[in-house]
Chains A and B, each alone.
Chain A
């Protein structure tokens, strides 16, 4: 096996293959445990997601948020850091967008309002990401611990605001925005009618391209990846490691915050307590299966969005919670088997090349 095929296998084909296979096998077992026929359940899951326009619209909607949190985690991992704070950053982003939309005068044209709200979402997420970033750069505080704790702090703070300060009485959401709503895709493709898929998708696709460009075509991105691979070597080569870490976590937070636009501007028109609903944590799964590459993140987001929308489609046959268990199993399987298979492949390649590796 030559080097190119090996790398292609390792990086692009193996993780999704493992994810799919494990989801099917573990899913079969759980479905059988519930006393249903796996074939029928899988057929219903497929029919309810990719089989009709509404279901597919919902998959696109969920994938839009997951792409953002996946990109966020991927950005941090490329710098050798682990951002587990995407959940809080996503919520903060949504809140920032909602408050901006609320502050704008009614009738502000979308061409002004949407970019302003989107910018606010990124700034809010980036501000939350700046906390672990600065603490890491200045004090060496472990970003995993700080980001976990920051989730709880941000969510509690937002819960306080929408339950006591800025809310519609008897609800846990902010008042409806005056401006800044993003149109649904159903305006152009009638089949999507009723689904929450909206033009945020286009913004997020743009973000994928921008992240790819930043990571692989700019000097800052090159430095970020160098720091991620070997901080010591990067520092020796003149890269400011602390600053790179800080920037990576701010960018990561901003990307997670961008995900808030999908719910707030594209779907509800207000911030609602708990809207993140685990999408931040699933971003870890998305980045893992997507191998921290924007294109991979996009595809992995579609996969996890399909599972999560599919849960609703099969709820009449098996409890929808089956997909939450499946998502966990898929992450464990990919995290465990991919490094193992890579070691085996690498050993085999080493033998073929006469111990060159």
Chain B
């Protein structure tokens, strides 16, 4: 029973990572740097709460949350693809902008600097019991998102094009692949996916709180890199990072390891992975480069 509880708790923590990491893997495989996941998630969380608050429906919240993610992703895409701005700079700026603008609208809509009122979530108002967890469509979507993305990237024409523009855009263009259009689709897709992670967080907690994503977008990015840009491996990395967190929460009373050290695990593993101590993690060849 406690093992089941452990797995359920791990999954609950992993769902936002899985969505955001899926978004990150998609955009990065198309050659667009994904420092924006944190911003997309936060925007998604805020959009979801706005929609759910004004209509009382979690489903509307889901739609408005994804729409917020798409809006932010559109800014990222136009700046990075159409205008060839530095993707790292734009990514950092979008994160900064999202923190500020969600605080601004939190004040404007709810006259609070810390949190929104309580909103509806999936599984009724019952709270966070097992029934609410199992009837939450986002939980099930989160479980299948990585296998689905793997299938999309490995088995479909679109996926082949995504990989081609991420590795060698000139070669892709020479055989008629619309490089920019594929990249737009990948970035918008990453915005929608990462926003779902934020939607899940906000509806699970039934409210928006200031900067509630708290670095989860970067843990997701770490999972993408640690998983060598492969959706299945990235998914396993998300579960691994979530399991470490769960273990830390359950062992909290024992005070075996300080929580800060558990929090470091994803980041340390990622540095080890890119430094290539155990099997070098190599990004897509054209990552971050937009050429004419």
What residues make up the interface of A, taking CB atoms closer than 8 Å to B?
30, 33-34, 82, 84, 131, 135, 139-142, 144-146, 148-150, 152-153, 156-157, 159-160, 163-164, 278, 281-282, 284-285, 288, 319, 321-329, 331-332, 335-337, 339-340
B94-139 interface (Cβ within 8 A of A): 94-101, 103-104, 107-108, 113
Contact with A along B64-102 (1 / 0, CB 8 A): 000000000001000100011110111011111111110
Beta-carbon nearest neighbor of B280 in chain A? A139
**CA separation between A339 and B90, bound complex, in Å?**
13
CB distance from B80 to the nearest CB of A (A): 9
Closest 10 CB pairs of A and B: A328-B97, A324-B100, A325-B100, A331-B93, A321-B103, A149-B267, A160-B260, A328-B96, A319-B107, A156-B260
A-B contact pairs, 15 of them (CB 8 A): A84-B35, A141-B274, A141-B276, A142-B283, A146-B271, A149-B218, A152-B267, A153-B267, A156-B260, A156-B261, A160-B261, A321-B101, A328-B97, A336-B90, A337-B83
A324 in contact with B93 (CB, 8 Å): no
B218 lies within 8 A of A148 (CB): yes
Q: Note all chain A residues with C-beta closer than 8 A to B96.
A: 278, 281-282, 324, 327-328, 331
Please give me the residue from chain A that is nearest to B75 by CB atom: A332
Give, as a whole number of angstroms, the nearest-CB distance from A325 to chain B: 3
A150-B271 contact given A156-B264, A335-B85, A335-B89, CB 8 Å threshold: yes
Give the chain B neighbours of A34 by CB distance below 8 A: 104, 108
A319, B100: Cα distance in complex, Å: 10
- Assuming the A-B contacts A153-B264, A156-B260, A336-B85, are A142 and B90 also in contact, with contact meaning beta carbons closer than 8 angstroms in the complex? no
Q: Is B279 an interface residue (CB 8 A)?
A: no
A205–B169 Cα distance when bound, in Å, is 45
A34-B108, A150-B271 are known contacts; what are 14 more A-B pairs with Cβ within 8 Å? Answer: A135-B271, A139-B275, A140-B276, A141-B274, A142-B283, A144-B88, A148-B221, A152-B218, A159-B260, A321-B100, A331-B96, A335-B89, A336-B79, A336-B90
Question: B260 and A152: CB pair below 8 A?
Answer: no
Closest A residue to B103 using CB positions: A321
Known A159-B260, A322-B104; contact A332-B79, beta-carbon cutoff 8 A? yes
A228 to chain B, nearest CB (A): 14
- A284-B92, A324-B96 known; A339-B83 Cβ under 8 A: yes
Instruction: Assess the A157–B100 pair: CB atoms within 8 A.
Output: no
B225 interfacial contact with A, CB 8 Å: yes
Interface flag for B222 (CB, 8 Å) = yes
A335 touches B100 (CB 8 A): no
Most A CB within 10 A of own CB, among B92, B95, B221, B258? B92
